[in-house]
Structure 1
């Protein structure tokens, strides 16, 4: 079963500042809680399509993701999860920013597409929404100071 999860929020900062914070594919430790370190494998640039980031979380899990798309005009970053945990397959995520001119704020959405068994969808979708919200809350905190 193909599943689509979408979560969105508004960050009280100009799009250029938010994009600068998240566009570096290796910057997760700088803004996402629970990520303790990250590196791009094989010493490749963090904006090279196909590069792989490997990062460690506080819970001891190591995750590897591959950059699929980075678009500075459209403010879009797409990546896939390598070696996803079962029961997910073909996991692809996109973070997209849009300028909100009223107040010079940023609309941010985080989308995930993946395949899973129908009975797994509710739990996996709920977990991803929580993951995305943690990222939004962290960005809001960074830009509120």
Structure 2
């Protein structure tokens, strides 16, 4: 099993950062330029476990992801792929916001575990860490005035 990981410190409170990302359907509002359209299927709310986020990237790629867990207490959610163009299996991702008590900032981490062909592992680990996760974290930093 492979693991892809990215993290950062954002100059805002954990509560403010969580408020920005807590809606599972809100990816288009905070992940700069990645998502063209997004909706939660079956009329579920963006924090309702079991909800499926159906979205299209700006390049036309369509994905579906299912919300597996959502916690305001832990400021985190976990999701998996239901439909993806990526050549990975058993993908499960977590995004979590923690307070940095010294200074009132937020520590944000985003990671995924997945299976893939051994010869593609380095590619997918790098792709998710830099293109997806770090891109989103950079957008959050910019929003909060890094």
Do the two structures share a fold, i.e. TM-score over 0.5? yes
Which whole-Å CA distance do the structure 2 matches of 1:20 and 1:81 have between them? 24
Which contiguous aligned blocks of 4+ residues in structure 1 show a shift greater than 2 angstroms? Answer: 83-87
What is the CA-CA distance between 1:25 and the residue it aligns to?
Answer: 0.6
Are the aligned partners of 2:63 and 2:85 in contact in 1 as well (CA < 8 Å)?
no
Instruction: Note if contact 1:98-1:107 (Cα within 8 Å) is conserved in structure 2.
Output: yes
- The alpha carbon displacement at 1:81 in A equals 0.8
| 1:142 matched residue in structure 2 | 143
Q: How many residues align?
A: 144
Cα pair 1:84 1:91 within 8 Å, conserved: no
- Any idea what the Cα deviations from partners look like across 1:63-97, whole Å, max 9, x if unmatched? 11000000111111100011233520011100011
Distance 1:90 1:113 in 2: 8
| CA distance in structure 2 between the aligned counterparts of 1:42 and 1:82, rounded to whole angstroms | 15
5+ residue gaps, structure 1: none
How far did 1:117 drift?
Answer: 1.1
1:5-44 equivalences in 2 (<5 Å): 5-33=4-32, 34-44=34-44
Aligned runs of 1:1-145 on 2, under 5 Å? 2-33=1-32, 34-130=34-130, 131-144=132-145
1:18-65 CA-to-partner distances (Å, cap 9, x unmatched) read 000111011011101221221000111111110001111110011110
Contact 2:4 2:112 in 1 (8 A): yes
TM score, norm. by length of structure 1: 0.95
Native 8 Å contact 1:38 1:53 kept in 2 = yes
TM-score (norm 2): 0.94
Distance (Å, rounded) in 2 between the aligned partners of 1:91 and 1:67: 12
Unmatched runs of 5 consecutive residues or more in structure 2: none
RMSD over aligned Cα atoms: 1.2
